[in-house]
Structure 1
């Protein structure tokens, strides 16, 4: 029994330490995802060790120490996404619709052929902006029914699971569809005008994940996130970045994005809001994200009911309150963060200058 527990402890230790290696291979980066599961496994393993190991033996204490260290390390990464942490974004009860911005982010699953659940959510929540990922021409035909109430749109129907659509009640200007890193992976960029007249810079992203069936490395995904982060850090306009980033909230790459961009994560101190996989409650993590500048506080953040996809939709309602949000702080980028960000974009020969800056040139 001791050798069996030692083998399990070794596996846990390898899974915990592997992400410390900055190699972009999908197997290495994939270990960022199951941190919550690994933390639960560490708790169960500790219980088994305390019950079954001869505690008088030095090896037993070594195994207990290794497992406890793994648990603490995993908890350090996931703790910000629990109510135990201080909220990064202030809550708001502002009822003034002129300064609110409601965004619904939905990966619809390209093979899903039932649009009614999503359309019903749009009717129920009345988002100002709807962004869909994996939406092809069939989905565009279904979503065009929204045009009478959401007349402003960006459309990029694709059959490769990377189509993207944006429908907006609010005016969108300076719009563009770009292929920042990969020729088949679009992103969308626009400036939206709130009912108050204030303008907000929006970026919608869906980079490809590191996986054996798509990109064997995370280099493309990481480069897209980093170049957008470097683009928005000095924005003169309020900024929102949202989409299915194919990365978990607690990964080193997402942490780097937050540090370099200076954007805030409204989930911090509130919860994980796991949006994938909708069909397996024991295997879920936060893949769909929304980050914003300090100009906003938070009115609503909600994972929505199923829509027939492998993702849940996410609804976020922000309130434009720059005076109240001025003292909100996210992560600070270190010299090492900046050096790592440069190396990531240099490896793919891309830069922040390749990212559109909607609305900035008019200032």
Structure 2
């Protein structure tokens, strides 16, 4: 009898441990780390099309066993309109969006993979990229008035494409760069940065036909961002802000992390990790701290719109800030309660766990049955 009780005890303890104590599924309790550290919304890019702002990034959906990003796309013309539901791109994050005067190109990604969407104000179209359906994420793109130049790069390989809005031309095989990090039109040619197949960092000029290497000092690494103001580009490399006149690179500013920069016709506004700095070509001036993480920004001819990766959104007219965060967040289609379905990417490990539990229960039953027969 003693052994019968012993095995019955083991059986019920195992059942309790694996099935939640009373045989039912345990109630969902949000992870303290997720609950305290996960922002509702993260802003990664802001753009202006002459009539309205577009804000891109991601929100989060929390599951009982984790969380997953959801794409964010919001239009703002005095009223916020959440367009995120129109993006049929799964768990991807909106990384960038650029307006060319007629339509938007919107880049989105999940880890190193991604895609490209065209939006003409009415419809969304997926633009085919090299390697579909597992295309590498777009790391850089710009428009020169005739066509887009679109680049990608990940651990030494990528692609470089021309796109005129209809047709795509792959120029990867004639490019000396196997992985592209930045692309900027500088008035009469393209300025590109990336790595060669030998993983050597290079800066190149490209006139649409020929690539020419731009000599740079050793201290200048891969250019991760560059913005042209009609006179010269400011480029970001190794956390340095560098002025490039077409021949020489001059480091003018250093920061631990520069997340964005834009020109308004009078001065540059530089966003960092919760910081904002103006630069008129000569003097740098720090603005009051209004953000807590990486700032992304754009100018529309009248004022700046700025947002960070914790979802703070503000307007800046050159003198004072106006907080738009409450109206912005209220317009989003956010679900306040977590989903009780497991996250998709955790389905396979979840099923393995179920199989293990079933096998353990069968094993326990056989032990009990054998012991009872001996008794």
Greater share of strand: 2
Q: Which has the higher contact order (CA 8 A, sep 6+)?
A: 1
Mark the structure with the bigger radius of gyration.
2
Q: Structure 2 length normalisation: TM-score?
A: 0.27
Q: Structure 1 length normalisation: TM-score?
A: 0.28
Greater share of helix: 1
